Amino acid sequence: MNTIQFTKVRFVFIGISILLLAGGLAGTLVQGGFNLGVDFQAGLSLRVAVDSSSATIESVRDAVASVDGSQVQTVGQPEDRQFVVRVRDAGTIDSFSSVMSERVLSALSSEFGIGSVEELENTYVGPRFSQDLTRNTVLLTVLALTLIVAYIWFRFQLGYAMASITALVHDVAFMLVLIGTFQIEVSTATIAAILTIIGYSLNDTIVIFDRIRENERLLRDRGIETIINASITQSLSRTLITSITTLLAVTAIYIFATGTVQLFALNLIVGVIVGTYSSIFVASPVLLGWKRTARSRRSRRDAERRGAPTIASESGDTGSSESSTKAELSAQEADRIREELRKKKAGGAGRSSSRAKRKKSK
């Protein structure tokens, strides 16, 4: 099998990732931040069905425009004419849930006619609950990433752990800026999708890392860059097959589902693509840089310990650096052995002449 030189273009893909993340961050800021759902921001969520042929999302938005902090979203099939109206609670109105429910229903009835609006679901989240949910979400995400680092550090090495966490942070950041740029609602389903993608991306990364660790023993005479490229190439078919089959299932959910489940599936589609990309073009290059730096430091320490000049190559494969260092150390060892043999011969000749003198004197 021909080895694909993935690491040769690593800087190109890292640059693409940086540009996309920067553009997504700018898009999120321009949009005014994230579109937080009622789960993360105190307020009312009212699901209604409007029995009117003129009921569209634009007309519903116009009808509730007089209600401050209102947002409208379509639910289900267009012919069902079901909508979710969310109203944020600024904490200035007593009995917010009942007051705002009456205002929204009254505004819709005035627009589409009395009796044409049916309340299907009414959910209110208080300020304390939304704050607790936000804090717990952040803590759980940080805890999950910390435990992942600890496990990979124990299972592999610190370099593998740092490369994995870099890829995971990349995936989470990419999903967040995409959600912010397109103003996809951030709900508990979004958090569930992010945690799911963390696990999926980590699985892809560990498969490649396990192959790298195995090839480090089988291809010990090769450089680390060659080993990483060979490992990715060997794992590529498995990675692509897994990602494609997962995408087929998740895309089917996105097409046939509605509401929160559809948004969950959309987040998973983005996450699967980004997770597969980061396992190859983010985690592996970070591991390559970490191992090159570690080997360079180890070579310098060994050279300083033996009093030899430091030999390290910053470009190309590190195999030439290691070979040069080993050759120099072997030459030093040979000189030391020859010196010891010369001393032993000199000592033996001295003892022989002393014994000859003692025999003559007798």
CATH code for the domain of 204: 1.20.1640.10
In a domain? residue 360: no
Rounded Cα gap, residues 200 and 271, in angstroms: 9
In a domain? residue 347: no
Residue 70: pLDDT band with limits 50, 70, 90: confident
Tell whether 206 and 101 lie within a shared domain. Answer: no
Write phi, then psi, for 304 (nearest 5 degrees).
-65, -35
Rg (CA), the chain: 33
Identify the CATH number of the domain in which residue 106 sits: 3.30.70.3400
Tell whether 174 and 221 lie within a shared domain. Answer: yes
Q: How far from each other are the two terminal CA atoms of the chain, in whole angstroms?
A: 81
Rounded Cα gap, residues 18 and 33, in angstroms: 19
Tell whether 84 and 166 lie within a shared domain. Answer: no
Region 238-260: what's the mean pLDDT? 89
Number of domains in the chain: 2
Region 163-167: what's the mean pLDDT? 90
| Domain-terminating residue out of 64, 99, 125 | 125
| Domain-terminating residue out of 269, 298, 327 | 298
Per-residue pLDDT at 348:
55
pLDDT at residue 53 is higher than 50: yes
Tell whether 27 and 141 lie within a shared domain. Answer: yes
Per-residue pLDDT at 252:
93
Cβ–Cβ < 8 Å for 48, 7 = no
Tell whether 204 and 241 lie within a shared domain. Answer: yes
pTM, to two decimals? 0.67
Rounded Cα gap, residues 76 and 82, in angstroms: 7
Residue 315: pLDDT band with limits 50, 70, 90: very low
Rounded Cα gap, residues 114 and 46, in angstroms: 18
For the record, the structure tokens of 139 come out as: 């803590």
In a domain? residue 234: yes
Tell whether 190 and 211 lie within a shared domain. Answer: yes
Residue the block writes with tokens 């589902």: 257
| Coil vs helix vs strand at 323 | helix
Rounded Cα gap, residues 12 and 21, in angstroms: 14
In a domain? residue 343: no
Write phi, then psi, for 258 (nearest 5 degrees).
-140, 165
Tell whether 55 and 169 lie within a shared domain. Answer: no
Cβ–Cβ < 8 Å for 83, 73 = yes
Rounded Cα gap, residues 193 and 178, in angstroms: 13
| Domain-terminating residue out of 298, 317, 350 | 298
Tell whether 155 and 265 lie within a shared domain. Answer: yes
Tell whether 119 and 195 lie within a shared domain. Answer: no
Per-residue pLDDT at 347:
60
Q: Which domain holds residue 81?
A: 43-125
Amino acid making up residue 124 = Y
For the record, the structure tokens of 253 come out as: 């959910």
Cβ–Cβ < 8 Å for 115, 136 = no
Tell whether 94 and 213 lie within a shared domain. Answer: no
Q: Which residue has the higher pLDDT, 251 or 77?
A: 251
pLDDT at residue 328 is higher than 90: no
